[in-house]
A and B are shown apart, each in its own frame.
Chain A
Amino acid sequence: MSTPARAESVAHLERLITALTAKGHVSEDELALQQASTDKASPEVGARMVARAWLNPEWRAMMLRSGTEAVEALGISMAGAPPLGVLEDTAKRHHLIVCTLCSCYPRAVLGYPPYWYKSFSYRSRVVREPRAVMAEWGSELPDDIELRVVDSTADYRWMVLPRRPAGTEGWSEDQLAALVTRDVLVGVALPKLPA
């Protein structure tokens, strides 16, 4: 899906890396480590955290206290990453995440943001008419459930811990994780059982 980098951009990057390593700001090892953790980041990390929280109350409590700690417990380094907060959905409240100012996104647990998350349309509409946006994603939220739109404007990054769907009793962590998509972790959709 990505286009090849332009030769001049690559040359520019090489010059930057040479300058930064020469001055001792970064090392090749640190860059390789960072590259590896960036490549590993995908919604599967967030899905794993949620599935485990549905099964294990201690994990759930730890993850709500510090999303950063939970990610690191999965063996993923959060060094240099903004702190991660986890927003807990309940029977009375659902969360939905946006960054109206730019595109702050919990990359450690979701990877790169999709194009729509950065679009002017999503960013401007979701604070005004979040229920309409969710309906377009195929999730109708009952009127008596409070919808809390979380505008990620500063130093934290956020992910949603949705409610475990009914009908998943006895499911394994892998089965549960498969229900937790990127859109569910952002909160624009609710987890659904396969039809």
Chain B
Amino acid sequence: MTPRFAAGTQVLVKNDWPEERGPCHIRTPHYLRGRPGRVERVLGAFRNPEDLAFARPAETRVLYHVEFDQPGIFPDGQTPDKLLVEIFEHWLEAA
């Protein structure tokens, strides 16, 4: 499975809210939706938890470690602090 984004790529977490469309299981935290980040590294490929949670056939998706500047996410964030979060490829777009 070829990752779409290489380490160092600037990305944007999709500003999508499946919670508003019906029952779902999402591993992308609310506080990161629509936020810019940077791919730290490719972690591997794992079966999509959004389907696994409902016992549906689940495709394998690439999982990334993505780094975010903390002050941009939370007003009480402090430079140079960061957040490092696992995000699946289908939640990322090129920035």
Is B43 interfacial (CB 8 A cutoff)?
yes
Is A148 interfacial (CB 8 A cutoff)?
yes
A154-B46 CB under 8 A given contacts A146-B82, A148-B84, A149-B84: yes
Asked if B43 and A148 make an inter-chain contact with CB atoms under 8 angstroms apart, the answer reads: no
Is B17 interfacial (CB 8 A cutoff)?
no
**A85 vs B42: C-alpha distance when bound (angstroms):** 12
Interface string of B70-82 (1 = CB under 8 A from A): 1001101110111
Is A101 interfacial (CB 8 A cutoff)?
yes
Is B44 interfacial (CB 8 A cutoff)?
yes
Considering the complex, give the chain B residue whose CB is closest to the CB of A141.
Answer: B81
Question: Which residues does chain A contribute within 8 Å of B29, judged by CB atoms?
Answer: 100-101, 151, 153
Interface SS majority for chain A = mixed
Interface residues of B in 23-70 (CB under 8 A from A): 27-29, 31, 43-44, 46, 49, 63, 67, 70
**A126 vs B52: C-alpha distance when bound (angstroms):** 28
Considering the complex, give the chain A residue whose CB is closest to the CB of B80.
Answer: A146
Is A63 interfacial (CB 8 A cutoff)?
no
Question: Which residues does chain A contribute within 8 Å of B63, judged by CB atoms?
Answer: 154-156
Is A103 interfacial (CB 8 A cutoff)?
no
A151-B85 CB under 8 A given contacts A128-B74, A128-B77: yes
CB distance from B49 to the nearest CB of A (A): 7
Asked if A154 and B27 make an inter-chain contact with CB atoms under 8 angstroms apart, the answer reads: yes
Considering the complex, give the chain B residue whose CB is closest to the CB of A152.
Answer: B86
**A109 vs B78: C-alpha distance when bound (angstroms):** 31
CB distance from A47 to the nearest CB of B (A): 23
Instruction: Report which of B49, B76, B84 forms a contact with A150, defined as CB distance below 8 A.
Output: B84
Instruction: Report which of A95, A149, A156 forms a contact with B70, defined as CB distance below 8 A.
Output: A149
**A131 vs B78: C-alpha distance when bound (angstroms):** 9
The contact sample of 24 A-B pairs, CB cut-off 8 A, is: A83-B44, A85-B43, A127-B31, A127-B74, A127-B83, A129-B74, A129-B76, A131-B78, A147-B78, A148-B82, A148-B84, A149-B84, A151-B29, A152-B86, A153-B86, A154-B63, A154-B88, A155-B43, A155-B44, A155-B46, A155-B49, A155-B86, A156-B43, A156-B63
Q: Which residues of A contact B (CB under 8 A)?
A: 83, 85, 87, 95, 100-101, 127-131, 143-144, 146-156
6 smallest beta-carbon distances between A and B, as pairs: A154-B86, A155-B46, A146-B80, A148-B82, A151-B85, A147-B81
Q: Which residues of B contact A (CB under 8 A)?
A: 27-29, 31, 43-44, 46, 49, 63, 67, 70, 73-74, 76-78, 80-88
